[in-house]
Each structure stands twice: as structure tokens, then as C-alpha cells.
Structure 1
Amino acid sequence: TPLSVTGLAGEGDLVISTTGVGFLASAFDPSGAPTHPLYQFDVTTGVAVELGTTGVVLDGLALDNNTVQTLYALGQGDAVNADPATIDTQLYTVDQTSGALTAIGPIGVPQNSPIAGLTFAPDGTLYAAIDDKLYTLNTATGAATIVDASTPDFSFSSVSGIAFAKGASVLANLSSRAQVLGGGEDVLISGFIITAQDPATPPAAGTTKEIVMRGLGPSLKVAGQDLPGTLGDPTLSLRNANGVELASNDDWKQNSAADQAVIVNAGLAPANTEESVIVANLSEGVYTAILRGAKDGDGLALEEIYDINEGNGLKTANLSARAMVSPGDAALISGMIIEGSTDKRTLIRGLGPSLADKVSDPLPNPLLMAFNANGTLIETNDSWMNSSEAADITASGLAPSSPKEAVIDRIFAPGGYTIVLTGNGPDPSGTALIEVYDRE
């Protein structure tokens, strides 16, 4: 399916971030002029913007998803007109707002082909496929080191792209939309756990997971139109398992310059300056993000939690969202993304009655619905004891205490899903909780 950037010519490359922002480089613009344009595009809508001209033919692009989403590039100087044998290929960083390049240094190996591959491994190592061999690149100096000189070459002249296959799937992101009412208990609360991706091989001591949390209100839309009744000024608070506040934010541009760079480079800058963002590097543990209105405001709000440095030995797991539920637009709606190449067994609980010792108005009879990325209803449950997986739910130790509470226990393919929790029966209002458990 063509995006809005078409008609480009010449060698180049593209890269897509974990947040759905893409970058596209080309030697020539649509008129055929060798201006070396760099574009940014949205992979969902196809909307693209020319950021500027780089002045250099970029043969490979790679985003370091383990840092602040730094964009790197391989460039060959005047590769349009020069003899390839005389070109000294450089490693650059790319300004993601203007396309301007900053040279790191020459890679130090000849490049005869006008195309190359560039990618980051999950551990943060930068790899390059140049001509018919594979190298690692030093991101501080640009110097290339052949991976294994004794290994035969690729058996063809050049490689236009390389990538690492994703391993076991993970729950990468969680979002929750709900009605926020005043400053009492009817706020939007999301919980998550940071834990080892593989307990058998825990990460090195001191390893942290970089998380970006957003609290949105004014910018919320449905089918391209402003959503009515949104929360005008959302605020965020991040707390640890002991309830100690680790960070807070009201307006996202109140963040430090370094954190604003993380937000912008991840493609997560809110459209409205009154929306809130927290950037945090978190060690293993249990965390809670609380979204409420400034000055106890009311309205629909969205809370999002993004894992922006996947593959460093830690993962987000056991995600949850608690909020007030009522008929109409005030359902509790959670989105989850399963990233990777394998299916994932996931158990989702919709709780209400069992919250009676925590809140004053628990939802009496929760109804859970799961939709795929196309909006197709794939499963629904009203009472977990009526589920075909009731025996397995009991064996898992995750059976709710009330038979009126709902559970969906199934295998999900990689992709995006929406979980909707509403009230069922004659009293469809009250505080409810969605919990998402990674069972693998």
C-alpha cells in the first residue's frame, strides 16, 4: 500500500521506531534532484513530512531503542557522482527534527556497493552489512570490526537491509481510557511489574527498564474528531510498591531537556502542552501510575505505559487498570500490544465485587470483551465460572473470589488488542479493575 511519499529514486533506507514513527532517506527527491531528502512518516496513517536534506546519501538507518531513540546512519558523502572506491563511509547521528547530520567518524573499511544494512541488536550492539560481510560498529568512533573473519561472505555482492528476529513475545505497552471524577478514589490507576524476561538468566545488577507514561485528555479523538467530555488538564504520579511517589508531572514540557528529548525521539510528544508525561528508568519491582485532573477536574482520560528499550533482559508484566465505570462512553477500555514472533498465553480479569474492601462503590457485575486490531470481537465473558477455561483458571491461582467477575484466558497472536470492561445487569456503574497476566 503506497504511503504519501512516492516517486523517490536512488538508494536509501527506512527505519521504524517501536512507537510507529518511521524515517525514510533517499538520494533523489521526486523531481529527480539529488537533494538527499529525509522524511518522517506515521506508519498507521501514511502521513509524511520532509524534515530536510542531509547533504549525504544515506545507505543505512538504525534507531537505538535502548537509549533515547537515537537515529544513526551510514553515509557515503557524494556517492551520487563519486567513484565508490574513493568514498570514505561515515557513521552519523541524525537530528530527527531537521535531518541534519553529525559525523561520528569513518567506519574504516571500503564500501563498494551503494547500499548497506544497519540495525541494532537487542543488547544495543550496532551491526552493519557492508558489501558481502557483517561488522559491528563503534557508536562512539564509527570504527567497524568484522564479526568473524573466518566466516564465509554472504555469497552475494551486497545487502540492502538486516534485522534481528524478535524472540519470545512480551507485553510491551498498556493503555487505559476511563472517566476521571474529581480528586477522590474515582481516578485512573494503572499498575505494572518490571521483572526478568528470563528468570533463568537474570540481567546484570543495576539493569533498569526505561518506561514512558503519558496522561492524555484534550487531544483524544474518535474517528478523527475531538472526543467530547475529555479531561482538560491531566496530571500523572508514579509510585513504587510502598506508595512512595517517584515522579510526577502536570504539563509534559515541564520535564527536563533530556527527558523531553526522550519523549520527542520516541514519537510520544503529546499534541497538547497541558497533557502529562513521565520518563523513568525502573529496576525490578511493582509500580503504580495515577492519573487525575488538575484541581480535581472531571472528564475522559487516557493513560499509556510504553516500554521503549525492549530486549535488555527486563520486561513489563501483569498490567492492570482501575477506574470508575458507567454506561455510555465511560467504560474502562484497555489496550495491550503483544510484541515478538510467538503467540502468548495471557489471562485477563475483570473485577468488581472483590474490590469491596478497597473502594466504596465496586461494580457489581463486570462484563469483559476482547477485540483484535481490526475491531473484531474475539471473546467475551460475564462470569469466569462459565468459561470453557474455568478449570485452568482455577489451577492458575488467578480465579476471582466472586462468580460474577469475568476472565478471558486464551492464547493471543502478536499484535494489538483492546479490552473493554462494562457493567452488566440492572446496576451497571461502579469501580472496576482490569488485570492482564503474562502466563508465559
Structure 2
Amino acid sequence: ILAAPGDLFETDQGSSTIFKFTPVGAKSTFATGLGGPFGLAVDGFGNVFEANFNTGTIFKFTPAGVKSTFASGLNGPVALAFDTSGNLFATEGAGGTIVKFTPAGVKSTFASGLNGPVALAFDASGNLFEADHGSNKIFKFTPAGVKTTFASGLHGPFGLAFHAGTLFESDTGSGTIIKFTAAGVKSTFASGLNTPTGLAFDASGNLFEADQASGTIFKFTPAGAKSTFASGLNEPSGLAFEPPTAQLVNISTRASVKTGAGVTIGGFIVTGTASKQVVVRGLGPTLGQPPFNVPNVLADPTLNLHDSTSSIATNDNWRDTQQAAIQATGLAPPNDAESAILITLQPGNYTAILAGKNGTTGVGLVEVYDINAGVFAELTNVSTRGFVGTGDNVMIGGFITQGGNGSTQVLVRGLGPTLAQSGISGVLADPFLRLFDGNGNVLYTNNNWKDTQQAAIQATGLAPPNDLEAAILVTVAAGHYTAILSGNGGGTGIGLVEIYKLR
């Protein structure tokens, strides 16, 4: 049974089965003969991963349903979640630990000493949240593993899911779904449920809840209106959606921010038929702190956002305006001197200009986050112009693709000589590109784009105009990627790094 975007998977503990539901509710059997199936997660290629509690195993199913063992010898695996680098996190409910698997299956311990960890969810900043059933708490872990208590005094927390920066939690003991703002403010989303367990959001923001004792999956609209999606199940537990085609949900560029033509200019394109809500951030001081420790950072970043005709929003310090709304997204800059703009954009071309206040300079970062990836609009291109130096002053373009029944094809370009045609002086004479995955592995390098992939790059219609410029055409799974633009042989100058999502 081939899985398709929008399909809902459900683990049926009582029948040891995984069922698949189409968006209109048509049910089919995806896998049988399991032993205590609990949590589900779907990777960037549309493969379904299932935590098999009784056998201590994590099984992997292709979209066609072909089964293999991904990991074994676990101590009661319950919950699964992928980070943006493709690493799989799993809770060992009987062992009180969270373990981490690289895409190659290499295992390490992320956290220990927990009391019945049964649910996992990542926020947009890469923090991992864990429902600790035995202690009635939700713990928060930074990407480095630093643990804090996010919420306490719950009644059997069992499911977690994020939507637009808000964390939803199923409380089995009280029969409620509780939601928390990014600041931890708690409110009740739904009540009167019968042992709510797994939670999952579809692309339209509807929340699906596995009601274990009643054998039902309920659907809640964003406004909280409840309906029955499926019934007659046998102890439903885990839920996971087959994501839509992978989208760019975060694009960012780090560069040495100068003055005049050397300010950092980040362009991006919104395509589709609907509006798109984004957070644009300009960071500086944060880059000087661990784990980055970048010297000579931009002390006081400012942002100026333009559409195709004029400036549409500006910001110096993010708390000056929109403080509560930005905090609610979970993407507030760490430093008060940094900039952020929360805005809803129509399809079109946009430019974010990152500069230092009063003409100051330093290393800065401009970012665009898509905070409602499910709508019929997406980010398809980022192009950032700025000064390319050496060492910490090279230009670093990052992008995150999320979801995906399959993979995403992107073209990364590094330009320099072409910019001189626009009257820019001091351009990067010979750009050099390197592309890394989220674990820091070099995927591809390129100096002159005609050296490799010439025909394929020309077929995209986006071949660089100058033979000395660089380009990489690559198909990637959902995850986190970094393109580093430098000068061949240590050259410096004004350069442009671009990332195009082709399909």
C-alpha cells in the first residue's frame, strides 16, 4: 500500500497493527503482526518508523510497506521523533532514557534518569520536549542536551505535538488536551476525552487525537470544533502523518556585514496561491556566544524588509514592537539588541537588508522562518549578497527542508563576477562552494560550475552567467543543510549565495 502525502498512520495496540487513513478517512491495513506498537515517526523520504515496545525494536517501513529492522535491543521503546538533521530520537519507556540514532543507525544516549518517557516533540528552534508520564511533567532539552522543567502538575501526560509555536499535550488522567504557549502559559484546548494518547497535526492545522479507551480518533479544527474521524479501533495509540512534499521552512545566511554595498541583503521568493506568515530575524550578539563563539559579531543588527516596490517593515530591537507575538512563535531572538519581524506576505519577491545600527559592522545572520508550512504557499528561493572574507568571515547559507513524501531537488549557486555587471565593485573573483549536511559531513564541492554537472545545471535554466562561478545541483531528504561560499585560493569580495528549490 503506497503511502501518499496527507495519509494518517495509527498504531493499534490491541490488534498489533498499523492502519493507514486517507485524508477523507478511508482505512486500510499498513502492517500487521507487531508486538506492542506505540510511537510513529516519518522521515524525509516518507519511510514510517514504529516503536515496538514488547520486542524492544524500531521497525522501518518504506512507503510501499516493506518492513526492516532499524534498531533492536531497546528497553521498551515508546515515542519517536526526527530532528531537522534526520537523526531519530526514541524514548525507552522502561529504561527512562532518550536515545539518538544518526541516519546511519549509530546509537547514543541523549538523556537518562527519566520516569516513564512516553512522548517527544521538537519546536522550531530544535529544542526537544519530553512527556514524563511517571513524574507528570514535561521536560525541555536544548540541542546540547541541557534539561529544564517546562511544565509540572499534569495528570499522566502521554502525547505531544507542536503547531505554530504552541505545544499541545494529551493528559490521560484528566481526559483533556492542554496547550502551552512558548512561555509556558497553560490553557485547556479540549476536555471530556477517554484516555487521550497520540496527537498529530495535519497540514491545515487540524489536530488529531487517539482516544484509546473509546477506540476512536477525534479531529479538532484550529478553533477546537470536534468531530469523529475514525471509530471501532482497538486501543489506538500513536499517530503520524505522511508529510506533504518537502518545503523550505528556514533559510538563513551568515556573513560579514559591512556598510554601503557591503550590507547583507537577503532576498527570498514566496510562491503559491495563499499568503505566508514568516519570521525574519537579524542576529549578531548571539553568534558570539557558545556554541558559536564567532569573533567580531554585529553588536546591534537592524532589519529593513522590502517587497518589490518599497520598504514594508523595519526593526531595530525585537522587543520594541510585536514582542508577545514573536515570543508566541518560539522564535524570539536570544538577545534584546537583535531584530525580528513577524509578517504575513502575499506571493512575490522580498528583500531583507541586514545592517549595523549607526554604520557599525561585524558578522551577522539574516534568517527567514516559515511558521505555517501547511498552506498553499512556500519559500522557493533565497539569495544573499554580502562581503565574503576568510575564516569566520566566509558567507554561510543555511536551509532546512521539512516534510516530504520523497526528496527535494535544490540548486545552490555562488556568484561573484556577474555582480560587476550591476555596477558593484570589489566582487568575489572566483567563488568556491561547499555543501554540508546537518551532521557536518561534506556532501559536494564545486569551484567552476562547468567542471561537473554542466548539462544538468544548464537544463534547469539557472546556469551561472560566468564560468568561474560555482553551482551544485543536488537532491536531498528533509533536513538541515549548509552552503559555504568562499573565494578560491583565499580570495575575498562581494559575493552572492543562492538556494533554489526546484521540486
TM-score range, shorter chain: 0.7 to 0.9
Residue matched to 1:28: 134
Residue matched to 1:373: 438
Residue matched to 2:113: 6
Deviation at 1:55, TM superposition (A): 4.0
Q: Does structure 1 residue 147 correspond to structure 2 residue 229? A: yes
> Do 2:288 and 2:297's aligned partners in 1 also have CA atoms closer than 8 Å?
no
Cα distance between partner residues in 1 of 2:391 and 2:181: 44
Q: Does structure 1 residue 75 correspond to structure 2 residue 171? A: yes
Correspondence 1:243-322 to 2 at 5 A: 244-262=310-328, 265-266=329-330, 268-322=331-385
Please list the CA deviations of residues 412-439 of structure 1 after superposition, one character each: whole Å capped at 9, or x if unmatched: 23222111111125x8121110111112
Residue matched to 2:216: 133
Work out which of the residue numbers 15, 20, 30 in structure 1 matches 2:121.
Answer: 15
Taking structure 1 as reference, are residues 375 and 225 closer, same or farther at Cα in structure 2, changes over 3 Å only? closer
Deviation at 1:249, TM superposition (A): 0.9
Work out which of the residue numbers 168, 186, 206 in structure 2 matches 1:101.
Answer: 186
Residue matched to 2:251: 174
Work out which of the residue numbers 394, 401, 417 in structure 1 matches 2:458.
Answer: 394
Say how many residue pairs are matched.
Answer: 392
Cα distance between partner residues in 2 of 1:322 and 1:283: 23
Cα distance between partner residues in 1 of 2:464 and 2:222: 50
> Do 1:115 and 1:158's aligned partners in 2 also have CA atoms closer than 8 Å?
no
Taking structure 1 as reference, are residues 272 and 338 closer, same or farther at Cα in structure 2, changes over 3 Å only? same
- The alignment-based identity, stated in percent, is 33
Taking structure 1 as reference, are residues 373 and 96 closer, same or farther at Cα in structure 2, changes over 3 Å only? closer
3-state secondary structure, aligned to 2:392: coil
3-state secondary structure, aligned to 1:190: strand
Give the number of the structure whose residues are more often strand, by fraction: 2
> Do 1:12 and 1:115's aligned partners in 2 also have CA atoms closer than 8 Å?
no
Deviation at 1:121, TM superposition (A): 0.7
Cα distance between partner residues in 2 of 1:6 and 1:315: 41
Residue matched to 1:57: 156
Taking structure 1 as reference, are residues 223 and 101 closer, same or farther at Cα in structure 2, changes over 3 Å only? closer
Residue matched to 2:395: 332
Cα distance between partner residues in 1 of 2:190 and 2:436: 48
Cα distance between partner residues in 2 of 1:401 and 1:95: 48
Q: Does structure 1 residue 417 correspond to structure 2 residue 481? A: yes
Cα distance between partner residues in 1 of 2:288 and 2:341: 22
Taking structure 1 as reference, are residues 422 and 139 closer, same or farther at Cα in structure 2, changes over 3 Å only? closer
Residue matched to 1:32: none
Correspondence 1:420-435 to 2 at 5 A: 420-425=484-489, 428-435=491-498
Taking structure 1 as reference, are residues 365 and 431 closer, same or farther at Cα in structure 2, changes over 3 Å only? same
Cα distance between partner residues in 2 of 1:18 and 1:225: 19
Deviation at 1:238, TM superposition (A): 0.8
Of 319-328 and 273-282, more deviation after overlay is shown by 319-328
Taking structure 1 as reference, are residues 93 and 322 closer, same or farther at Cα in structure 2, changes over 3 Å only? same
> Do 2:167 and 2:180's aligned partners in 1 also have CA atoms closer than 8 Å?
yes
Cα distance between partner residues in 2 of 1:214 and 1:434: 18
3-state secondary structure, aligned to 1:437: strand
Cα distance between partner residues in 1 of 2:450 and 2:200: 48
> Do 2:243 and 2:403's aligned partners in 1 also have CA atoms closer than 8 Å?
yes
The letter for the 2-side match of 1:235 is T
3-state secondary structure, aligned to 2:384: strand
Q: Does structure 1 residue 234 correspond to structure 2 residue 301? A: yes
3-state secondary structure, aligned to 2:319: helix
Residue matched to 1:33: none
Residue matched to 1:165: 242
Cα distance between partner residues in 1 of 2:322 and 2:235: 46
Q: Does structure 1 residue 185 correspond to structure 2 residue 261? A: yes
The letter for the 2-side match of 1:248 is T
Cα distance between partner residues in 2 of 1:337 and 1:377: 16
> Do 2:205 and 2:221's aligned partners in 1 also have CA atoms closer than 8 Å?
no
Deviation at 1:5, TM superposition (A): 5.6
Residue matched to 1:37: 137
Structure 1, gaps ≥5 residues long: 30-35, 80-86, 197-202
Correspondence 1:209-220 to 2 at 5 A: 209-220=276-287
Cα distance between partner residues in 2 of 1:105 and 1:344: 37
> Do 2:196 and 2:210's aligned partners in 1 also have CA atoms closer than 8 Å?
no
The letter for the 2-side match of 1:261 is Q
Please list the CA deviations of residues 14-33 of structure 1 after superposition, one character each: whole Å capped at 9, or x if unmatched: 3222331232233433xxxx
> Do 1:54 and 1:101's aligned partners in 2 also have CA atoms closer than 8 Å?
no
Residue matched to 2:104: none
Deviation at 1:272, TM superposition (A): 1.4
* CA root-mean-square deviation: 2.2
Cα distance between partner residues in 1 of 2:204 and 2:497: 32
3-state secondary structure, aligned to 2:281: strand
Cα distance between partner residues in 2 of 1:54 and 1:14: 18
Please list the CA deviations of residues 287-333 of structure 1 after superposition, one character each: whole Å capped at 9, or x if unmatched: 11110000010111111111111121111011111111123322111
Cα distance between partner residues in 1 of 2:182 and 2:130: 11
Please list the CA deviations of residues 129-161 of structure 1 after superposition, one character each: whole Å capped at 9, or x if unmatched: 1122211125545x6421145xxx33x3231x2
Cα distance between partner residues in 1 of 2:183 and 2:477: 35
Cα distance between partner residues in 1 of 2:264 and 2:292: 23
TM-score, normalised relative to structure 1: 0.83
Cα distance between partner residues in 2 of 1:124 and 1:309: 9
Structure 2, gaps ≥5 residues long: 1-98, 100-108
Cα distance between partner residues in 2 of 1:165 and 1:6: 32
